[in-house]
Chains A and B, each alone.
Chain A
Amino acid sequence: MNYYNEMFDGDAVREPYARLREWVETMPDDFRQMKQAEAEALFRRIGITFAVYGEGGDPDRLIPFDMMPRVFEQAEWRRLERGIKQRARALNAFLRDVYGRGEIVRAGRIPARLVYRNEAYEKAVVGIVPPRGVYSHIIGIDIVRTAKDEFHVLEDNCRTPSGVSYMLENREIMMRMFPQLFRTNRIEPVDQYPELLRRTLESLAPAKCSERPTCVILTPGHYNSAYYEHSFLANLMGVELVEGQDLFVDGEFCYMRTTTGPKRVDVIYRRIDDPFLDPLCFRPDSMLGVPGLMDVYRSGGVSICSAPGAGVADDKAIYTFVPEMVRFYLGEEPILNNVQTWTLWKDDDYRYVMENLGDLVVKEVHGSGGYGMLVGPKSTAAEIETFRAKIQANPSNYIAQPTLALSTCPTFVDEGIAPRHVDLRPFCLCGDRIELVPGGLTRVALREGSLVVNSSQGGGVKDTWVLSE
């Protein structure tokens, strides 16, 4: 397969990377190793680790950081930005619709079953319109590139996408280690993200809030794999990082327990999943949530970001219909394409997939993090047969996609520098405005030939640059 190389076109260097070539090609090995060690020490020291559970060993792991940046030129980014914002608008319009009259289902554009019998569809929030009609406030859209002008959306993350702390820290560390690069390249900043996030959250104050809203981040606690990110964002935004036990409901409002008594909370950026939000409404055994929270939410006493029920928009079965949403709600043609997807509950698709399992990528509809998937071309015959049995047991639990020719970006490896496959996750903010910082998280599959970029599967991260004009 032929892969698009982000930096090189044959022997020629593409424009955005022009000023990086000399830097990378003349870097002495020992200097590179020294800098790599320095970067790792910085990460370790700041405490940026993520936790991998169930595999034994030290759960506190460092995500491998690659010093070679991934670069976009302004025009490329503009187009991506338009596509991402368009998609974010369509996804929110869809959510407003399916928790309301369900026009898109009535119009026959999406099968009712896929929406209303979806596990992520929350009956408890039908008819509630959150502030500004926005359900998903932070959308992480995973994008892959297959050619100069070919970008495809791999999946949408409408609930609580993580990784933004890496986007910010990768930049911080690059600027600290290689200030000269930032003088010779004109790179758009990303460090305004926490400020934008705070503004977005404040713009979502609930109906009953008349003063400047108090925002908090709700975390499952310090054992959660993304705890670092939660505390990092809380710190940069200057808001409290709370756990369920810090909050309580009294009458019409939600309060946090402070040293000076109860303090009202208006906007909750929650990093816990829907089922755990309120034991009185969802899972009764949840210790992470706040009893009575949903009543306060319903009556406009508190805003919850993302809104409960937002997950129905990022399900892999719904994914196939996002271009349809763009046309239906916005009357526009989608700027970003989906990846061709076979849905295994359709007979034709099922037959095709079963015949070509060795060439396809098969994913669980509700899976994430690179778990529970089959990459056909990289699997043994035995692995494929095991997976085939799993599909046969429950076909509607799977979708299949072609093995994508993910673009590669030069990456530092033991032997020097070599191309490795990358994707991109930008973070789109939706409040009174829709905003996107110029950049995102570039994930890189560090194993040679690997197409799986997830950190839990041996992926690393890179700083992502958008050059200004």
Chain B
Amino acid sequence: MLSRTASNLFWMGRNLERAETAARLLDVGQRITLLPNTELGYQNEWNSLLQASGTSDLFRQKYGEITQEKIEEFIFFDHDNPSSAASCLEQAREAGRIVRTALTSQVWDALNVAYQELRKIERQPRAKLDMAGLTDFITSHTSTVRGAINATQLRNDGWHFMNLGYSIERADATARLLDVKYFVLLPRIEFVGSGLDNYQWQVILRALSAHRAYHWAYGGDITAAQVADFLILNGESPRALITSLYEAVWHLEGLARRYGDSVPTEARDKAREVLAALESRNIEMIFDEGLHEFLSRFIREMATISNLVHQDYLMGGV
């Protein structure tokens, strides 16, 4: 497979996942603003969400003060924001268009329809749009694409590259979101049992579409250790670091098997190593290390894996 083709498939996966992250952030932010007495609070919440997507500087430069409308515009529509839902969807569709021949017609169809519909929405006056509808729009279309990929794509190297993009992006997004809010997960005596921590934890779970799943997995009260455990170490949780990393390793193993010994496997080796380290820990050990330190290191390691994927496969061996 051409390196450029593989690269486009990889980034198509990453951008689709990122579009979903943007939509989910918007949904969470929306909820926060609906709560009473959060005048100052919601500014902070929005800011942490911007930080999570690494775009808070960009936002400040372009818009200055945070307001509901500006944030919605920025996170959903703004083409100057490379992480906005619209940007990501457009980039994913463009990548797909370039490698049309590597996609089944169902996948292309789903991707193309999502893009055409988005353009229709962009032309509507913003005041007429409802935010919950926009989030649903993105998640339902990205799910359709995802489903088409799973149902129709050949299980070949291209499929591995797409899924590698998805899984690396997801691990990265979860880690970033946790890192921004890590302080609320630290067991601090003054917060325990107060309304505040409970609510903050729920925000994190919601941001990862995991609040119901959490209850199924743990039942009972929400506690910091359990939330962290669920999003970092629980292999049943679809967006947990360990689950995403496990998928990345699985696809890297697939590539290594397919390509044989002549092609370097540094990305695979590194991903295996990070996974093994994660598997050997429990949540207490992570808290002992320091949650922030742990997450920063994890984010760096994911970036290393992504760079190694480029080195091993996407540069054409030169």
Chain A residues close to B by CB (< 8 Å): 45-47, 222, 231, 234-235, 240-243, 245-246, 248, 255-262
Of the listed stretches B81-89, B93-101, B230-238, name the one at the interface; the rest are far from the partner chain: B93-101
In whole Å, how far is B254's beta carbon from the nearest beta carbon of chain A?
12
Pick the contact of A240 from B2, B157, B259, B318 — CB < 8 Å?
Answer: B2
In whole Å, how far is B28's beta carbon from the nearest beta carbon of chain A?
35
Which of A240, A245, A259 counts the most B-chain CB atoms under 10 A from its CB?
A: A259
Instruction: Give 6 nearest A-B pairs by CB, closest first.
Output: A257-B316, A261-B317, A235-B101, A257-B3, A259-B313, A259-B6
List of A residues within 8 angstroms of B225 by Cβ: none
Q: Can you spell out 29 A-B residue pairs with CB atoms less than 8 angstroms apart?
A: A47-B100, A222-B94, A222-B98, A231-B100, A234-B101, A235-B101, A240-B2, A241-B101, A246-B3, A248-B318, A255-B316, A256-B2, A256-B316, A257-B3, A257-B4, A257-B315, A258-B3, A259-B6, A259-B157, A259-B255, A259-B263, A259-B313, A259-B314, A260-B1, A260-B262, A261-B263, A261-B316, A261-B317, A262-B317
Pick the contact of A258 from B100, B105, B316 — CB < 8 Å?
Answer: B316
Contact B316 A262 (CB under 8 A): yes
Contact A47 B112 (CB under 8 A): yes
Nearest chain A residue, comparing its CB with the CB of B264: A261
Decide yes or no: A257 and B318 within 8 Å by CB, A45-B109, A47-B108, A246-B3 being known contacts: yes
Q: In the complex, A262 Cα to B262 Cα: how many Å?
A: 12
List of A residues within 8 angstroms of B97 by Cβ: 222
Q: In the complex, A231 Cα to B105 Cα: how many Å?
A: 13
Chain B residues close to A by CB (< 8 Å): 1-6, 94, 97-98, 100-101, 105, 108-109, 112, 157, 161, 255, 259, 262-263, 313-318
In whole Å, how far is A236's beta carbon from the nearest beta carbon of chain B?
9
10 additional contacts, CB 8 Å, given A46-B105, A242-B2, A257-B3? A241-B101, A243-B4, A256-B316, A257-B316, A259-B6, A259-B255, A259-B314, A260-B1, A261-B263, A262-B317
List of A residues within 8 angstroms of B94 by Cβ: 222
List of B residues within 8 angstroms of A231 by Cβ: 100-101
Q: In the complex, A47 Cα to B98 Cα: how many Å?
A: 12
List of A residues within 8 angstroms of B101 by Cβ: 231, 234-235, 241
List of B residues within 8 angstroms of A45 by Cβ: 109
Q: In the complex, A73 Cα to B255 Cα: how many Å?
A: 54
In whole Å, how far is B284's beta carbon from the nearest beta carbon of chain A?
41
Decide yes or no: A246 and B4 within 8 Å by CB, A47-B108, A256-B316, A261-B263 being known contacts: yes
List of A residues within 8 angstroms of B109 by Cβ: 45
List of B residues within 8 angstroms of A222 by Cβ: 94, 97-98
Contact B318 A258 (CB under 8 A): no
Which of A243, A258, A262 counts the most B-chain CB atoms under 10 A from its CB?
A: A258
Pick the contact of A245 from B4, B112, B161, B262 — CB < 8 Å?
Answer: B4
List of B residues within 8 angstroms of A260 by Cβ: 1, 259, 262-263, 317
User: Looking at chain B's contact residues, is the secondary structure mostly helix, strand, loop, or mixed?
Assistant: helix
In whole Å, how far is A449's beta carbon from the nearest beta carbon of chain B?
36
Q: In the complex, A100 Cα to B263 Cα: how many Å?
A: 46
List of A residues within 8 angstroms of B5 by Cβ: 240
In whole Å, how far is B123's beta carbon from the nearest beta carbon of chain A?
13
List of B residues within 8 angstroms of A240 by Cβ: 2, 5
Q: In the complex, A347 Cα to B57 Cα: how many Å?
A: 71
List of A residues within 8 angstroms of B2 by Cβ: 240, 242, 246, 256-259
List of A residues within 8 angstroms of B157 by Cβ: 259
Q: In the complex, A259 Cα to B9 Cα: how many Å?
A: 12
Pick the contact of B1 from A47, A234, A259 — CB < 8 Å?
Answer: A259
List of A residues within 8 angstroms of B108 by Cβ: 47
Q: In the complex, A153 Cα to B112 Cα: how many Å?
A: 41
Q: In the complex, A46 Cα to B313 Cα: how many Å?
A: 30
Pick the contact of B259 from A234, A255, A259, A262 — CB < 8 Å?
Answer: A259
In whole Å, how far is A47's beta carbon from the nearest beta carbon of chain B?
7
Q: In the complex, A465 Cα to B1 Cα: how many Å?
A: 37
List of A residues within 8 angstroms of B262 by Cβ: 260-261
In whole Å, how far is A278's beta carbon from the nearest beta carbon of chain B?
19
Q: In the complex, A241 Cα to B263 Cα: how many Å?
A: 22
Nearest chain B residue, comparing its CB with the CB of A261: B317
Which of B6, B101, B105 counts the most A-chain CB atoms under 10 A from its CB?
A: B101
In whole Å, how far is A194's beta carbon from the nearest beta carbon of chain B?
13
Q: In the complex, A46 Cα to B104 Cα: how many Å?
A: 11
In whole Å, how far is A285's beta carbon from the nearest beta carbon of chain B?
22
List of A residues within 8 angstroms of B315 by Cβ: 257
List of B residues within 8 angstroms of A234 by Cβ: 101
Q: In the complex, A234 Cα to B161 Cα: how many Å?
A: 21
List of B residues within 8 angstroms of A47 by Cβ: 100, 108, 112
Decide yes or no: A262 and B1 within 8 Å by CB, A222-B97, A231-B101, A234-B101 being known contacts: no
Which of A231, A241, A257, A262 counts the most B-chain CB atoms under 10 A from its CB?
A: A257
Q: In the complex, A262 Cα to B157 Cα: how many Å?
A: 17
Contact B98 A258 (CB under 8 A): no
